[in-house]
Amino acid sequence: MAFPITRMRRLRRTESLRALVRETSLEPGDLIYPLFLCPGKSLRREVPSMPGVFNLSVDEAVREAEEAGSLGVGGLLLFGLPESKDDQATGAWGDDGIVQQGLRALKQSSAAKKLVLMADVCLCEYMSHGHCGVVIEAHGGWDVDNDASLDLLARTAGSLARAGADVVAPSDMMDGRVAAIRRALDDEGCSQTPILSYASKFASAFYGPFREAADSAPQFGDRKTYQMDGANLREALREIELDIAEGADMILMKPAMPYLDVVRAARERFDLPMGAYQVSGEYSMLQAAFQKGWLDPARAMMESLVGIRRAGADFIVTYFAKEAAKLLG
Ligand code: PBG
């Protein structure tokens, strides 16, 4: 039945009609808010390339978490800036690590009842060289040793779970890390701690501002031998399949906006819960346009988030979590 019987504009006439036929929902509980924890007290240091994002001492992070919880945000994703770095990433797996301290404090706060506390599992923030695994000399140069990194990653996940993480989220992209982490969690009495695997993570320029926020830029080379090539969709599906086989409970895909086709393809192929990470560069480029007055902040933010949900993500990790929750609430 074509025009003039069919008129698509009929159902767009009023906001209530548009709301009735809206296909995709977005709720505060779908949003996960990343926090960057740093040593100290009463510290709130804004990240220059990420307006509105801060390095927070644990006491400030608790305040931030309580606010996010009262806005209905679904959870937090915790990253850490350690006191010092070394070549074994001691700060990642030590029980007195900054994220472990943060988790213990958050567990005591009222925020813990409302928010899922997720802890990122990676070594780059804690390694003096800034790579996500153990660096060794190899064929006259260097390499990130996959298997030697697994032990440290598993130890990190165990320590974070014991400190109170509700979910551990490995983002390192070493092969076999999900299985290694599952084994360590089960051995340490954390068989109920789920793994959210960053199964499909591309080597992306859009992580630039994060590396300023987390002080985690590699001191030499890049991450292309462990993170995926941005041109590959089938490879992403294989990565996801392997992580599921190793025991991932949920998967995370990142970046989001330049890879929405990957989110859609994964949604159609796999049935476990899936999230997408609207990464730092996606946030920063929108913020830059807002500052210039080139985009309407509220509308552009919401459109970017609804697009990710429409592509098939159940939840979204986003630095806009609080702002979006305010508008939705
Ligand atoms: C750690 C990690 C990174 C991000 C999440 N976990 C940085 C990287 O891989 O270089 C990026 C998140 C963002 O850009 O917001 N490996």
- The DSSP output letter for 12 is G
Q: How many CB atoms lie within 10 A of CB 42?
A: 9
Over its C-alpha atoms, the chain yields an Rg (Å, rounded) of 20
120 Cβ closer than 6 Å to some ligand 1 atom: yes
pLDDT in tens, 48-84: 999 999 999 999 999 999 999 999 999 999 999 999 9
Please name which of 155, 184, 164 lies closest in space to residue 109, comparing C-alpha atoms.
164
Give the number of the atom of ligand 1 that is nearest the alpha carbon of residue 217: 10
Give the number of the atom of ligand 1 that is nearest the alpha carbon of residue 227: 9
Which active-site residues does the annotation give? 201, 254
Q: Tokens standing for 12?
A: 């767009």
207 Cβ closer than 6 Å to some ligand 1 atom: yes
**Which residue has its alpha carbon closest to ligand 1 atom 2?**
171
pLDDT in tens, 291-321: 999 999 999 999 999 999 999 999 999 999 9
CA distances from 32 to 77, 188, 224 (A): 7, 27, 27
Preceding amide of 255 cis, omega within 30: yes
170: pLDDT strictly greater than 90? yes
How far apart are alpha carbons 310 and 286 in whole angstroms? 19
pLDDT (0 to 100) of residue 139: 87
How far apart are alpha carbons 41 and 104 in whole angstroms? 16
User: Measured in angstroms, how far is the CA atom of residue 58 from the centroid of ligand 1?
Assistant: 21
Domain assignments of the chain as residue spans, ordered by start: 25-328
How far apart are alpha carbons 56 and 303 in whole angstroms? 28
Residues in contact with 137: Cβ distance below 8 Å, sequence separation at least 6, in sequence order: 143
pLDDT (0 to 100) of residue 79: 98
Best mutation site among 207, 216, 320 for ligand 1 pocket (most ligand atoms within 8 Å of CB): 207
pLDDT (0 to 100) of residue 98: 98
Preceding amide of 170 cis, omega within 30: no
171 Cβ closer than 6 Å to some ligand 1 atom: yes
pLDDT (0 to 100) of residue 325: 98
User: CB–CB of 195/168 below 8 Å?
Assistant: yes
Best mutation site among 216, 253, 259 for ligand 1 pocket (most ligand atoms within 8 Å of CB): 216
pLDDT in tens, 179-223: 999 999 999 999 999 999 999 999 999 999 999 999 999 999 999
Q: Which CATH class is domain 25-328?
A: alpha beta
User: Measured in angstroms, how far is the CA atom of residue 278 from the centroid of ligand 1?
Assistant: 11
Question: 278 φ, ψ to 5°?
Answer: -80, 100
pLDDT in tens, 122-145: 999 999 999 999 999 998 999 999
